[in-house]
Amino acid sequence: MAFPEIILSPISKTTPDTLLLPFFKAEKKENEKLKEKKEGPGYEIPVLAGKKFKELADIENYLRLSQCFSGKKNEISLMRAYKLGNAHNVGLVGLGQRSGLDTEVARQVGAAIYQFQKRERLPTVSIDIQGMWAATRESKRVTTLQALCEGYYLSSYEFREFKKADQTLFHPHGIELVGVKGKDCEKARDKARHLVEAMFFAKVLGDRPSNTLTPRELARLCQEMSKGCGIQCQVLGRKEIEKEGMGLLIGVAKGSAEEPQVIVMEYRGGRKTDLPIALLGKGVTFDSGGISIKPSDRMEEMKYDMMGAATVAGIMQACATLKLPVNVIGYIGAVENMPGGKAQKPGDIQRSISGKTVEITNTDAEGRLVLADLIEYAQKQNPQAMMDFATLTGAVVVALGSVTTGIMGTHKGLLGLIKAAGELTDERVWELPLYDEYEEDLKSAYADIRNSGGREAGSQKGGTFLKFFVDKKTPWVHFDIAGSAWDRKDKNYYTPKMATGVMIRLMAQLLQHWKSLK
């Protein structure tokens, strides 16, 4: 998968196929002028974002007559064989309302431009973004540029590993962004690329079918990535996992012919004396539900039940390539949940690393069992904070849909930092409560806790189960990405029906500006 090229130039240095002109949708003041001039009902001429030029009057007249373009966000109209300067075509790019221009709009516009190039088979385009910058606060210009680059790169994602080669497919070569210069701009573009490469690694892991992404293959790919990034990676097989006493994780894997794996990736970018930040990922490479088997409808999507693991792997890659100033250890529990003859059954009791006992009342509530052992294993390193990522519950999809990630945890300061990072990166999170009352439904007559409660507040009960294994002195937050990890239709830079790579941008922001917790 070749990345398109993004060239930054103070003035245009290339001869593009197409020159893109960015336009804002007409604001009220412009609307009033149109009414005074009686330009005609129902059409408002968009406003060029940038310096005017002599040919603009002809373009505005063309728009007035054709009414083909209004400047709304992500709208792009091609004037093919319309010569302007050295370009042979002109593209009109909609930015939406001037007052609404922000990083998320820029990200979506970047994605729309790439998709436009691909659709119209345009190898290279050029766009002067000084007009966009003029409408953006100076302190936000570099991050807006980064977001534009992120959207452009993200839209180039394809997963064609199992498709026949198609020579007719067209892939744009790149884009020239005119009107930008300086080291800060180059760093922003390069940061966007590193983040998107990490997201692509997570996306490819998710999109591969479970017969080719077994726990062992997931471990191998994480080792391969780690070696290329300078990350230390250790893999524990069944014997080592049993030796560590991970009875909950082993219990999930019992019904599968595939051997479970625990993957530990360590990145050291902080001071030697800094305690690590622990990141934990649920890596159920396929989830049939086990003996509590799922309905067959859409069960093929359960290859995505390892997106928590993919997220952690992507974050670790981002930490290394961006050289973030922190010490981070990523833990992945990779298993298959299958209904084999040796599979654990409802009513079984399993034991965690620390000896806590769990009554299995639902074998389809397996991800929390994997994470519970990882939590106790990670706590041996005395982390300064711990965050886990999992496609844990369908209940979070019912509560929040796919447009945001549910979070819950034990430390208000850490939750606050995560929310702030989400605002800065446009990766939405929403806090759900962990009230003590939820513990009542997880009480067991036979063990210390049971792994599933009633249908009400399913996400919070999953979080409450995990909290049972968290040391009270360890700041901890759980990310339930079951709704946001794949098949997003709300953002044009996500590929429909495929993995998204959510939370990698957020976590890179959080870790780059990490603050010690009190």
CA–CA separation, 455 vs 367, rounded Å? 17
Query: 108 and 151 share a domain?
Result: yes
Q: Treating both helix axes as pointing N-terminal to C-terminal, what angle do 307-321 and 215-229 enclose, rounded to 10 degrees?
A: 10
188 part of a folded domain: no
Whether the CB-CB separation of 407 and 431 falls below 8 Å is answered with yes
Mean pLDDT of 52-65: 90
CA–CA separation, 222 vs 310, rounded Å? 9
Query: 232 and 282 share a domain?
Result: yes
What's the pLDDT band for 32 if we cut at 50, 70, 90? low
Query: 380 and 243 share a domain?
Result: yes
Tell me the one-letter amino acid at 154.
L
190 part of a folded domain: no
Alpha carbon 52 to chain centroid, angstroms: 38
Tell me the β-bridge partners of 177: 8, 127
187 part of a folded domain: no
Based on the structure, what is the number of domains in the chain? Answer: 2
DSSP code string of 399-422: HHTTSSEEEEES-HHHHHHHHHHH
pLDDT for the residue 469: 98
The encoded tokens of residue 37 equal 């001039």
Query: 158 and 241 share a domain?
Result: no
pLDDT for the residue 86: 84
Query: Closest Cα partner for 85 from 120, 113, 53, 118?
Result: 53
The encoded tokens of residue 368 equal 């929390």
Task: List pLDDT tens digits, range 214-257.
Answer: 999 999 999 999 999 999 999 999 999 999 999 999 999 999 99
140 part of a folded domain: yes
Given the residues 140, 216, 268, 294, select the one marked as catalytic. Answer: 294
Q: Which residue has the tokens 């130039």?
A: 9
Query: To the nearest 10°, the Cα dihedral for 116, 119, 121, 126?
Result: 0
End-of-domain residue from the set 125, 148, 181: 181
Domain that holds residue 390: 197-512
81 part of a folded domain: yes
> Could you confirm whether 368 is annotated as catalytic?
yes
Query: 312 and 405 share a domain?
Result: yes
The CATH number linked to 73 is 3.40.220.10
What's the pLDDT band for 134 if we cut at 50, 70, 90? confident
Tell me the β-bridge partners of 357: 351
pLDDT for the residue 41: 56
Q: How many CB atoms lie within 10 A of CB 13?
A: 10
pLDDT for the residue 463: 98
Q: Which residue has the tokens 């939406």?
A: 96
Task: List pLDDT tens digits, range 280-301.
Answer: 999 999 999 999 999 999 999 9
CA–CA separation, 41 vs 162, rounded Å? 52
Helix (H) or strand (E) holding 58: helix 56-66
pLDDT for the residue 340: 94
Query: To the nearest 10°, the Cα dihedral for 142, 147, 148, 152?
Result: 140
Whether the CB-CB separation of 433 and 455 falls below 8 Å is answered with no
Task: List pLDDT tens digits, range 82-98.
Answer: 888 888 899 999 999 99
Query: 11 and 83 share a domain?
Result: yes
Whether residue 31 is predicted with pLDDT greater than 90 in this model: the reply is no
431 part of a folded domain: yes
CA atoms within 13 A on the CB side of 415: 16
Query: 175 and 228 share a domain?
Result: no
What's the pLDDT band for 27 if we cut at 50, 70, 90? confident
143 part of a folded domain: yes
pLDDT for the residue 244: 97
Tell me the one-letter amino acid at 466.
L
Q: Alpha carbon of 25 to those of 71, 98, 105, 265: distances in Å?
A: 4, 7, 13, 48
Query: 140 and 253 share a domain?
Result: no
Sorted by sequence, the CB contacts under 8 Å of residue 491 that are 6+ apart come out as 108, 111
Least confident of 26-35, 265-274, 419-428: 26-35
Mean pLDDT of the chain: 94
Query: 371 and 438 share a domain?
Result: yes
Q: What is the DSSP letter of 87?
A: B
pLDDT for the residue 150: 98
The CATH number linked to 476 is 3.40.630.10
376 part of a folded domain: yes
Tell me the β-bridge partners of 477: 387, 409
Tell me the β-bridge partners of 450: 359
pLDDT for the residue 310: 98
Query: 158 and 211 share a domain?
Result: no
> What percentage of the chain reaches a pLDDT higher than 90?
85
Q: Which residue has the tokens 């995505």?
A: 304
Given the residues 351, 368, 450, 488, select the one marked as catalytic. Answer: 368
Query: 153 and 206 share a domain?
Result: no
Sorted by sequence, the CB contacts under 8 Å of residue 482 that are 6+ apart come out as 390, 391, 392, 393, 394, 396, 397
| Residue 489 burial by Cβ neighbours in a 10 Å radius (0-12, 13-18, 19+) | exposed
Query: 176 and 201 share a domain?
Result: no
Task: List pLDDT tens digits, range 392-449.
Answer: 999 999 999 999 999 999 999 999 999 999 999 999 999 999 999 999 999 999 999 9
